[in-house]
């Protein structure tokens, strides 16, 4: 692996770790999501420090250029993460829909109860007062 690529990978991994840590401190990022990005940055850092690892992995996967292995590996990780987020988003949308339906049903029940109370006579004394 060429030196400029190693330097770029190292800088990107350090900057991404710093960025993630800052977002965690400001409470803008959940720990669950930050772990993925820290591991992602750590993998970039390992690949930039140990370029021979990239050559070995590229040969194992029958990829001619180690740079192509790095791109393929990172794209694969990002696709997995994207799929995980899609699953989580679908689950949250279903929960929102269920909660919305439950709130609508409870509101309708409360309206019906309030309507029934308004129709009932308030007391027996008032009934006889109006009949006289």
**What pLDDT was estimated at residue 59?**
92
pLDDT tops 90 at residue 93: yes
The structure tokens listed for 94 are 């279903």
pLDDT band at 129 (very low <50, low <70, confident <90, very high): low
Query: What is the pLDDT, as a whole number, of residue 92?
Result: 95
Q: Is residue 16 within 8 Å of residue 40, measured between CB atoms?
A: yes
88's tokens: 């989580």
Q: In this structure, are residues 47 and 22 in contact, taking their beta carbons and an 8 Å threshold?
A: no
pTM for the full model?
0.64
Structure token pair of residue 101: 């339906």
Residues in the chain: 132
CB-hemisphere CA count at 13 Å for 53? 11
pLDDT of residue 131: 53
């Amino acid at each position: 692996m060429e030196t400029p690529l190693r330097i770029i990978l190292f800088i990107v991994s350090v900057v991404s770790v710093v960025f993630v840590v800052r977002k965690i401190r400001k409470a803008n990022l959940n720990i669950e999501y930050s772990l993925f990005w820290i591991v992602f940055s750590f993998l970039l850092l390992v690949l930039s420090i140990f370029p021979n690892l990239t050559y070995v992995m590229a040969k194992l996967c029958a990829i001619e250029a180690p740079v192509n292995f790095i791109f393929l590996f990172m794209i694969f990780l990002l696709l997995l993460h994207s799929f995980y987020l899609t699953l989580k988003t679908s689950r949250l949308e279903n929960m929102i829909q269920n909660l919305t339906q439950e709130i609508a049903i409870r509101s309708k029940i409360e309206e019906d109860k309030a309507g029934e109370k308004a129709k009932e006579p308030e007391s027996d004394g008032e009934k006889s007062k109006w009949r006289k």
